Structure 1
C-alpha cells in the first residue's frame, strides 16, 4: 500500500472513532440537556468548564418579562466551587441565582456538574429580560467562582422557541391584568364608591342651574 493510501486509511479510521465517541457521549445521562450544539458557547479555565451557554428570552419578540441564562458547569477539581454571582458586563441587568432545591448557594460539587436552566434545575434569572439585549446578538456573561474567580464568555441571545423552549423563562407575563370579580361586588347595599376627586356633597351645594334660577327670583 502506498504512503498516501495509508494516510487516507488512518484518517478515515480516526474519523470513525471520533463519531463513535460523540455518539456515546450523547447517549449518556440526561443526553438532551447535555447536547452540544455548534452555536453554543463553551470554555474551560483551570478546573471549571462551561458548556451550552445561552441567554434565553421570551418566546415573543415584543413580550415583557424575565430572561434566563442556560448553561452546564463542570468542576474537575477536588474542591467544590460556589457560583458567587453572574453578571452581564456593559448592561444594567441583574441576575438572580437560585439552587435547584431553592435553598443555599449555587454549588458545583468537586468532580461534578450543575445544570442551569430547565425544569428542576438551578436557575439564573434576568428580571428585566430586555436588558440582556436583542435576539440574535451576543452578550458577554461573567461567572464568578469561589476558587477559580471570574470567567467571561459570549452567549448567544435566543428566544424560548424550538430547541430552547424547555429552557426558557418559567414566569411568563400575562397579557393584561384583569379586574378581580370581587372588585365589582365588594360594595355593601346602600354604599356607593366614589371616583377619584369626587366628594360627597349634594347636588344643591355645587351650584347647579336650578339653584341659579331660584336666586334670580
Structure 2
C-alpha cells in the first residue's frame, strides 16, 4: 500500500473513532440529564463532611407551614459526633432536631453517616417556614457538633417540588374538605365509632378502646 493510501486509511479510522466517542458522550450526557440533581452545598471540617445541604420550603410560595433542612452528614473520625444544634443565624427561628427513630440525640457514628430529611430519616424542622428565607436565596446554616464544634455554610432555599418533593416538609397545608357521599354512614352520639375496613364496609370500634398508632415518618 502506498504511503498516501496508508495515511488516508489512518485518517478515516481516526474519524470513525472520533464519531463513536462523540456519540457515546452524547448518549451518556442525555442519560445523566434524566437524573441530574441541582448543585448542593457541601463542606468538610476535620473528620466531618456535610453534603447535599438545602433548606426545603412548602411547595407553594404563599403557603403557611414548616420548612426543613436536608443534608447528609459523614463522620470519618474514630469517635461518634452528636449534632447538638442546627441554627439559622440572623433569622431568630429555631430548628427542631429528631433522630431517625424520634428518640435520643442525633448522632453521626464513627466511620458512618446520617441523612437528614426524607422518610424514615432524621429530621431538622423549621416550624415557621417563612422565616427560613425566600426561595432562590442562600441562607447560612450553622451546625454544632460535640467534637468538631461549629460548622457554617450556605444552603440554597428551594420549594418541595421536583427532585426535592420527597425530602420536603411532611406537614403541608390542609386540603379543602371533600363532600360526604350521600348514603354514607354517619356517627350517632353515644354509638360505636365507625372505621372503614379494607373491603370498604365500616367496622365498629368501641369508643374508648385502644387503637395502635401509626409509625411516625421521619429529604432539603
Alignment TM-score, normalising by the size of structure 1: 0.64
1:77, 1:142 → 2: CA distance? 20
Are residues 1:162 and 2:178 paired?
A: no
Call closer, same or farther: CA 1:36–1:95 in 2, change over 3 Å. farther
> How many Å separate the matches in 1 of 2:168 and 2:130?
14
Report the CA distance between 1:129 and its aligned residue: 0.2
- Please report the RMSD computed on the Cα atoms of aligned residues, expressed in angstroms: 2.3
Aligned partner of 2:84 in structure 1 is 84
The alpha-carbon distance between structure 1 residues 61 and 70, as it changes in their structure 2 partners (threshold 3 A), is: same
Q: Which residue of 2 aligns with 1:103?
A: 103
Map 1:193-212 onto structure 2 (within 5 A): none
- Confirm or deny that 1:173 pairs with 2:173: yes
Q: What pairs up with 1:5-154 in 2 under 5 angstroms?
A: 37=37, 39-154=39-154
Q: Do the aligned residues in 1 keep the contact of 2:37 with 2:163 (CA within 8 Å)?
A: no
Contact 1:36 1:52 in 2 (8 A): no
Higher relative CO (Cα under 8 Å, sequence separation at least 6) belongs to 2
Distance in 2 (CA, whole Å) between partners of 1:65 and 1:148 is 32
Query: Post-superposition shift, 1:173?
Result: 2.3
- 1:169 is displaced (CA, Å) by 0.1
| TM-fit CA distance, 1:38 | 5.2
Alignment partners' CA distance in 1, 2:123 and 2:150: 19
Tell me, in whole angstroms, the C-alpha distance in 1 between the residues paired with 2:147 and 2:36.
26
- Unpaired runs of at least 5, structure 1: 1-22, 24-34, 179-184, 187-217
Q: Aligned residue pairs: how many?
A: 148
State the secondary structure of the residue aligned to 1:44: strand
- Alpha-carbon distance in 2 for matches of 1:130, 1:123: 18
User: What SS is found at the alignment partner of 2:96?
Assistant: strand
Gaps of 5+ in 2: 1-27, 29-34, 179-187, 190-220
- Cα displacement string for residues 157-212 of structure 1 (whole angstroms, at most 9, x for unaligned residues): 0000000000000011215799xxxxxx98xxxxxxxxxxxxxxxxxxxxxxxxxx
Q: Which has the higher helix share?
A: 1
1-structure distance, mates of 2:36, 2:85: 24
Structure label with greater radius of gyration: 1
Q: 1:57 to 1:146 in 2, by over 3 A?
A: same
Using a 3 Å threshold, how does the CA distance of structure 1 residues 165 and 77 change in structure 2: closer, same or farther?
same
